[in-house]
Amino acid sequence: MRNFIFSSLALLSLLFLPSWVSAQNISGKVVDENGMSMPGVGVTLVSSTTGSITDMDGNFSIAAKPGDQLQFSFVGYQTISVSALAGMSVSMKPSTTDLSEVVVIGYGTQRKADVTGSIAVVSEKELRDRPNANAISSIQGKVAGVVINNSGKPGDAPGISIRGLGSIAGTDVLYVVDGVLTNNITYLNPSDVESMSVLKDASSAAIYGLRAANGVIVITTKLGRKGGEEKIKFSYDTNVGFSKPTNVLDLAGSEDYVRLYNQKLIFEGNTNPADQIALADFNGVDTDWYDEILKKSSFTQSHNVGMTGASEKTRYSVGLGYFTQEGILDANKGVSSGDDYKRVTARFNGIYDVTSKFRVGVNMAYYKFDSNDAASPFYQARVALPVVPVLNADGSYGTQSTLGTAGNINPRYTLDIFRGKTKGTRTLMSGFAEYDIIKGLTYKMNYSRDYTSVDNYQYTAENTGLGTGIVNPSKLTNRHDTFESILWENTLNWTKEIGKNRITVLAGYSRQQDRSLALRGSAQDVPFNGDDSTLYLNLGTPVTIEFPDGEEGNKSRLQSYFGRFQYAFDDKYLLNATVRRDGSSAYNFSGDQRSATFPSVGLGWVVSKESFMNNSGVDFLKLKASWGKLGNATVPRQFDEVASSQPGAFFGTPSTLANAVSVTQLVDPTINWEIVEETDFGVEARILKNRLSLEAGYYNRETKDAVFDITIPPLSGLGTRVFTNAGSFVNKGFEFTANWSDKTSEKFSYAIYGNVTTIDNEITEVLGGSFFNTGPGLFGNPIKRWEQGQDVGSYYGFEVEGVNQTTGALEFKDLDGNGAIDDQDKTFLGSPIPELVYGFGFSMNYSNIDLSVDFQGVAGNEIYNFNRNARFGNENWDQDFADNSWTPTNSSNTYPVANSDQTSSRPSSFYVEKGDYFRVRNIQIGYTLPSSLLSKAKLDRVRFYISAQNPFTSFNYNGFSPELGKQSISDSGIDNNVYPLSGIYSFGINLNF
């Protein structure tokens, strides 16, 4: 989408050029609307597919005759066709208002201005040069409506939600990578990604039907640009650095622990001086357990090699990547091998034009990983006693059994005796054939296979249980899992322009088969050999083998029919309608429940094309609205083990007696799909000569027939819960995005972006007015309840009124006014779902120097500090509690006296803390060597940069970080031994030649 400017003299000279002039080397220069050179522009000779790509100075050269038509194209600019002329200069304009700019959508592309739904596009520029194993981690704060929670554990995938919660039963987003459907992109090297399209609304995602309830992200990987000369381009990117734990919580030292312990005894009524402890009792031991289990810094690195090329009939791309990240746990002191992660990736994409009408292509990806899975003693380190030594004088692990079971907690011991490892491979292969039946009508067949093999090892060395004196034999448990997914899709696509009418029709058929198989075995008395050669079952005895899912494993099939109709009249009035019919053979459904239909419709009006908008100063303005349905078939059932034999009970005749069987669990055999229905309204605008772009929208996203297990009245032998389509909930809110970019001189340009999203979540219905208690808890008190009128996953417990100034105990509100504190006084205490999510940042370029800074944050959510709540005896306290707890001389009305009684440990607002945070997500400074220095070395580009990721976070939560990583709905917002996030500081090089 380009626009060029020729002088009138150049245009006139073309008219007098004879047709018999032979081809010659036509060269020239390409510049933007400000006259700045544009490197990397694709140049194609229209009469043939031979051509060239401009070099890094914006110059091009192509074999053509004067007067031949040349086409210039570049992502983000208007594509143009002009007549060839020696020494020509072409000027190109951004495509921000051009209707021919395209975005990737489900099963194809669509012109940007024709989009009636809510689709956010993330370019390769936003993903590169980040020290992340997963590409999704790099878009945190970049896209309105998308909430990402990164995990600090190496190799772990981040949690992601699009416009709030879509399903309770299954929360995975659907990824479509070069046509392959998957819920896991850990195999994908971020350096291989060309672009992402986030399909945020139901209208955009409905083409994927039952798999789209939690949103869809379509990813396109890199490919050589068509029209380039037969020249191979190489790239090498490297990033090396170190990570370190941030915001490490201060824990009470030995002196404070002794003081708090003695205060706790008094609170419990024990005033006997002989039972109190003194600092001198522990020989000066003052252990900082975080310091003992955490590394000061950990090494991370990535190396990526890329190759792209194109010729008259082919386009191809090759990528190789190597990534390693050390964890922050300081292992290797016993049998533990730490928590490091290594990954090797390889990718090949290729397209070949067999004829002008027939094309074939292939995409191949290979992924191999090795993860060391150390025990995670973060909670233990928080509550372990500072008066316990790491090791005793004789080399044994330290304990203080006189202080109860808490004195036997030794995180170093927990870390050292365990060795865990997960390793595996994943291979994805897809191929397509595409044929133009007639002009405008294309048939495409796509076939893909996704195969994963994973081995998991868990080894516990022979050990003497702390505080028990019992020698436990070593134990090894191995598990082997395989997963295969085969997808076959067929589509017909027809496009036609009739006057001012533009029509695109898609029809498709899809079949998918998923198979999985698990094999598990265990052995005892396995000796430790000092390395991973220990992890073989035949080294110990006895060996047990089992198939957790049966010898046949699990198998399911999906069959789908889908269609889409797109219509535009005069580039002003837009219509987009889709429908998909899905059927599942999985055990989840039976009869007519196995099929469902998912329709959607979107409307748009490009107001800026109307005559009354002339001279309005508005470059582009579009109003849009959409509605659609999505589905989720991954819902649980309760058909297994619902009956059991009754010992001593029989039925039948005396000669044919059989054991009696009793139903032990109430089940619902009529469970149906979960359905997501969404309505969306939006506006897009660009003003001030396209320098400022704005987008705003409102969404109302309702999940109906949500499946979860509700609490039922006690029935004779039928359990207390039942899985069923138990209710509905809604997410609604507003999104706003703004981008400004400008170039003030030949050397200086800058850009600013910002986005904000509101999320209002509410359970609108629960079957029969029931409720669902879930989440971790102590002494039979779960800390979550799902009930009508509340957010999904809300915390439930007692509201603290203050601290009793006589005893120091927490005082709870008597909400029902009956004079007693009981379960009728429990109330809702907060929600893990943020009310506000935002991100903003800026970038600038001056000469060869570039700088970018990204900020991101959330507000309006709460975190349940289960690390502080989970107390059973004499565990340690954090320093914040030690400094602020109630004492006879410190009349705090917020923090109670040191204690561990079950009354204070009940779920309450004392453990609910604000989850708001503001983070400097990334700072990067780069320098690109001048092209004059590179020409002799035949290098196109060399750039050096330094970056800091998560260098600063502002929050008030009493923990490592308020960002808790990927969690299930039942655990969302609960900090319960969560792996903390780290800051990463790195140096990188980009090399192109």
CB-based contact 117:625 (threshold 8 Å): no
Closest CA to 633 of 175, 970, 212, 971: 212
Give the model's pLDDT for residue 597: 92
CB-based contact 220:188 (threshold 8 Å): no
Give the model's pLDDT for residue 419: 95
The answer for 717, left when phi > 0, alpha when psi is -120 to 50, beta otherwise, is left
Residue 892 predicted with pLDDT over 50:
yes
Residue 378 predicted with pLDDT over 80:
yes
| Separation of alpha carbons 21 and 33, rounded Å | 32
The confidence band for 361, taking pLDDT boundaries of 50, 70 and 90, is: very high
Residue 827 predicted with pLDDT over 50:
yes
Give the model's pLDDT for residue 21: 42
Distances from the Cα of 448 to the Cα of 510, 582, 584, 783, 900, angstroms: 12, 19, 19, 44, 57
Residue 838 predicted with pLDDT over 60:
yes
- The pLDDT tens digits of the residues spanning 186-219 come to 999 999 999 999 999 999 999 999 889 999 999 9
Give the model's pLDDT for residue 592: 61
Angle at 40 between CA 39 and CA 46, to 5 degrees: 120
Q: Is the dihedral of CA 259, 263, 268, 270 positive or negative?
A: positive
Give the model's pLDDT for residue 49: 42
Give the model's pLDDT for residue 166: 86
The confidence band for 37, taking pLDDT boundaries of 50, 70 and 90, is: low
CB-based contact 382:876 (threshold 8 Å): yes
Q: Give φ, ψ of 676 to 5 degrees.
A: -110, 125
Q: 318 Cβ partners below 8 Å, 6+ apart?
A: 306, 307, 308, 347, 348
Longest Cα pair distance anywhere in the chain, in angstroms? 113
The confidence band for 718, taking pLDDT boundaries of 50, 70 and 90, is: low
Residue 527, helix vs strand vs coil:
coil
Full-prediction pTM beyond 0.95?
no
- The pLDDT tens digits of the residues spanning 302-350 come to 999 999 998 888 999 999 999 999 999 998 788 999 999 999 999 999 9
Closest CA to 840 of 827, 826, 854, 861: 854
Lowest mean pLDDT among 113-127, 581-595, 835-849: 581-595
Residue 987 predicted with pLDDT over 70:
yes
Where are the alpha helices (H) located in 834-916, listed in sequence order?
866-869, 879-884, 902-905
Q: Which of 168-177, 273-282, 587-596 has the highest mean pLDDT?
A: 273-282
| Separation of alpha carbons 763 and 789, rounded Å | 5
What is the pLDDT averaged over residues 146-174? 89
β-partners of residue 842 are: 752, 853
DSSP 900-962: --HHHHSSBGGGEEE--EEEEEEEEEEEE--HHHHTTTT-SEEEEEEEEEEEEEE---SSS-S
Angle at 355 between CA 353 and CA 357, to 5 degrees: 95
DSSP label of 668:
-
Residue 498, helix vs strand vs coil:
strand
Residue with tokens 């990534």: 323
Angle at 686 between CA 682 and CA 688, to 5 degrees: 150
First to last CA, the chain: 26
How many residues appear in the chain? 993
The confidence band for 859, taking pLDDT boundaries of 50, 70 and 90, is: very high
| Separation of alpha carbons 476 and 891, rounded Å | 53
Residue with tokens 């609910």: 912
Give the model's pLDDT for residue 17: 35
Residue 824 predicted with pLDDT over 70:
yes
The confidence band for 609, taking pLDDT boundaries of 50, 70 and 90, is: very high
The confidence band for 849, taking pLDDT boundaries of 50, 70 and 90, is: very high
Q: Give φ, ψ of 691 to 5 degrees.
A: -75, -30
Give the model's pLDDT for residue 634: 74
| Separation of alpha carbons 555 and 982, rounded Å | 40
The confidence band for 563, taking pLDDT boundaries of 50, 70 and 90, is: very high
CA 338 to chain centre: 24
Kindly calculate the radius of gyration of the chain based on its CA atoms and give it in whole angstroms: 32
| Separation of alpha carbons 455 and 94, rounded Å | 50
Closest CA to 448 of 492, 507, 491, 489: 489
- The pLDDT tens digits of the residues spanning 625-641 come to 999 999 887 776 554 44
Beta strands in 383-500 (DSSP E): 418-438, 441-460, 463-464, 471-472, 475-498
- The pLDDT tens digits of the residues spanning 648-702 come to 444 455 555 555 555 566 677 777 888 999 999 999 999 998 999 999 999 999 9
E strand or H helix at 714: none
The confidence band for 22, taking pLDDT boundaries of 50, 70 and 90, is: low
Residue 851 predicted with pLDDT over 80:
yes
- The pLDDT tens digits of the residues spanning 905-957 come to 899 999 999 999 999 999 999 999 998 888 778 888 999 999 999 999 999 99
Mean per-residue pLDDT of the chain: 87
Give the model's pLDDT for residue 5: 33
CA 663 to chain centre: 41
Distances from the Cα of 886 to the Cα of 251, 377, 875, 890, angstroms: 17, 29, 18, 5
Lowest mean pLDDT among 3-7, 398-402, 771-775, 809-813: 3-7
Closest CA to 584 of 218, 209, 217: 209
Lowest mean pLDDT among 33-47, 416-430, 918-932: 33-47
Higher pLDDT, 597 or 79: 597
The confidence band for 290, taking pLDDT boundaries of 50, 70 and 90, is: very high
Distances from the Cα of 80 to the Cα of 57, 96, 521, 957, angstroms: 20, 15, 64, 55
Q: Is the dihedral of CA 265, 267, 273, 277 positive or negative?
A: positive
Closest CA to 633 of 146, 174, 163, 106: 174
Lowest mean pLDDT among 41-45, 499-503, 534-538, 939-943: 41-45
